[in-house]
Amino acid sequence: MAKYANVLMTNDGYNLFAQSQGAGQLIFTGMKIGDGTLNTSEDIKTLTALKNPLLTANINGIDTSVSGQVTLTAIINNRAVETGFFARELGIYAKIGEDGTEKLYAYTNAGNYADYMPDKNTPVDENKIEITLIIGNASNVIAVINDSIIYSTKEDTDKNIVVAVAAHNNDGSAHKDIRQLINDTIKNIDLSPYAKLLSPEFSGIPTAPTADMGVNTNQIATMAAIVSALKDYTKTTELPNVSGLGIVTQSLAASGYIKFANGFIMQWFQYGNTGNTTTPWPITFPAACVGAIADGNSRETRCYAFNQSNVSYAGDGTYGRVLGWGF
């Protein structure tokens, strides 16, 4: 990079400096580089901008650890340079507060000691610039830092490694046997809420996936799967050997039914009519109705036709019941 002379504060810089000694927040916003040339009669203090700014260098680091001064760091490259130029002048910009106006805080010019900055078609190594400025008693000093352009130099890396190693070595537990740490962690894990793989004992209401109809494996059968299977079995004529499983469902009302696990169904209803009547069964027999009787008070009461859906009977005007059975 160019051999820049001492960085001098401008009049605007002195004004910002004065405001920062009170409650004002001094914010350094960036650096600019240009190819402007100073006349011998020009005074840097009176400048309010670079003579010919051509490149903006974003600040990527700020150090206020030394009382009364600040060190700003920027990385310079030519990725945005369309036309090569001699990097003669460099300016630092700042403002007071977020709503303040950005002004030229300090300036320097390399004159005949400037280096040539080629355009972006001729890539050059990135250069790190550090500028130290006086901030006096200012207690609230920050910089606008663009994280997207922060680079770590070897110096930065070496410094970070030293700090990290020191922190590690000062940690009393940093070198503890890792196997002991693992064992201690395992011992403190509470496994009581979890079921064993061998002969687990469940509590509460455990759930499991419901198998599809026709699955014949060692998969756990849920109540949903059992109910679905029994409902399906009662709709077929080829029933499996499920005798002994008892009643599947029932409705013990004046008009009701009992459905058994093997598919057998008994159902009934009351009547009090006179003459021939057809009445639907409380539920439809899935396959067939094989018999039906009526228990009226006279011999005229009888069932003379029946099927899966209904029964036809002759009533004698008294109250009686019709009983049917099938599957």
Whole-angstrom distance, CA of residue 4 vs CA of residue 111: 8
Hey, what are 286's tokens? Answer: 């899935």
Q: Is the pLDDT of residue 128 over 70?
A: yes
Alpha carbon of residue 77 to chain centroid: 38
Tell me: the pLDDT tens digits for 188-198?
888 777 777 88
Contact call for residues 132 and 69 (beta carbons, < 8 A): yes
Please give the share of the chain, as a percent, with pLDDT higher than 90. Answer: 44
Higher pLDDT, 243 or 78: 78
Residue range 259-288: mean pLDDT, rounded: 94
Lowest mean pLDDT among 64-68, 173-177, 271-275, 276-280: 173-177
Q: Is the pLDDT of residue 161 over 80?
A: no
pLDDT interval class at 168 (50, 70, 90): low
Residue range 151-168: mean pLDDT, rounded: 56
Q: Is the pLDDT of residue 232 over 80?
A: no
Amino acid letter, residue 100 = G
Contact call for residues 60 and 177 (beta carbons, < 8 A): no
Contact call for residues 104 and 91 (beta carbons, < 8 A): yes
Please give the share of the chain, as a percent, with pLDDT higher than 70. Answer: 83
Tell me: the pLDDT tens digits for 129-158?
888 988 887 767 766 655 443 444 445 545
Give pLDDT, residue 147.
42
pLDDT interval class at 239 (50, 70, 90): very low
Residue 43: what are its φ and ψ, rounded to 5°? -110, 125
pLDDT interval class at 68 (50, 70, 90): confident
Q: Which helix (H) or strand (E) holds 22?
A: none
Lowest mean pLDDT among 72-86, 87-101, 154-168: 154-168
Smallest CA-to-CA distance from 288 within 272, 308, 271 is with 308
Contact call for residues 56 and 149 (beta carbons, < 8 A): no
Smallest CA-to-CA distance from 270 within 256, 289, 291, 288 is with 256
- Residue entry with tokens 């696990």: 261
Give pLDDT, residue 167.
65
Whole-angstrom distance, CA of residue 144 vs CA of residue 232: 74
Residue range 241-252: mean pLDDT, rounded: 73
Q: What is the CA radius of gyration of the chain?
A: 48
Give pLDDT, residue 200.
82
Contact call for residues 129 and 73 (beta carbons, < 8 A): yes
Hey, what are 182's tokens? Answer: 């693992």
| Furthest-apart CA atoms within the chain: distance in Å | 140
Contact call for residues 308 and 269 (beta carbons, < 8 A): no
Q: Is the pLDDT of residue 22 over 70?
A: yes
Q: pTM surpassing 0.75? A: no
Q: What angle do CA 58, 60, 61 make, to 5 degrees?
A: 135
Higher pLDDT, 203 or 289: 289
Tell me: the pLDDT tens digits for 204-222?
888 888 888 778 888 888 8
